[in-house]
């Protein structure tokens, strides 16, 4: 039979959960291509880039990220942009580069 956690342990877990929720960043992601602008608020940049997955890219792609007043952005040519939207590894690398340039 499992031992039930004490009241003190439950309070500590609850406090930790609240602190971890407060630590999570919210990102404003803006992607511009083909004279269209897609803006969304997300916690997972990689999944957001993969979910966008445009069918046809004719122009350069501008990706901007904002978090807590800090801004970061990248401009991609057509071929690298197709790679970012179609490949999960490329999307992960782009997300990491955007986040590290925020600091």
Q: What are the tens digits of pLDDT across the range 13-29?
A: 676 666 555 556 688 99
Report how far residue 46's alpha carbon sits from residue 3's, in angstroms, rounded to the nearest whole number. Answer: 40
- Can you give the pLDDT at residue 13? 67
CA distances from 9 to 1, 17, 18, 19 (A): 18, 12, 14, 15
Q: Is this structure's pTM higher than 0.75?
A: no
Look at residue 4 and tell me whether its pLDDT is greater than 70: yes
CB 49 within 8 A of CB 94: yes
For residue range 21-68, list pLDDT tens digits in order: 555 668 899 999 988 899 988 888 888 888 888 888 889 999 999 998
């Amino acid at each position: 039979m499992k031992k039930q956690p004490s009241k003190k342990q439950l309070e500590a877990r609850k406090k930790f959960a609240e602190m971890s929720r407060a630590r999570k960043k919210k990102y404003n992601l803006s992607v511009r291509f083909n004279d269209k602008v897609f803006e969304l608020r997300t916690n997972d940049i990689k999944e957001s880039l993969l979910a966008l997955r445009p069918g046809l890219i004719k122009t350069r792609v501008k990706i901007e990220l904002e978090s807590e007043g800090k801004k970061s952005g990248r401009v991609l040519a057509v071929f690298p942009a197709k790679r970012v939207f179609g490949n999960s590894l490329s999307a992960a690398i782009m997300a990491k580069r955007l986040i590290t340039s925020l600091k």
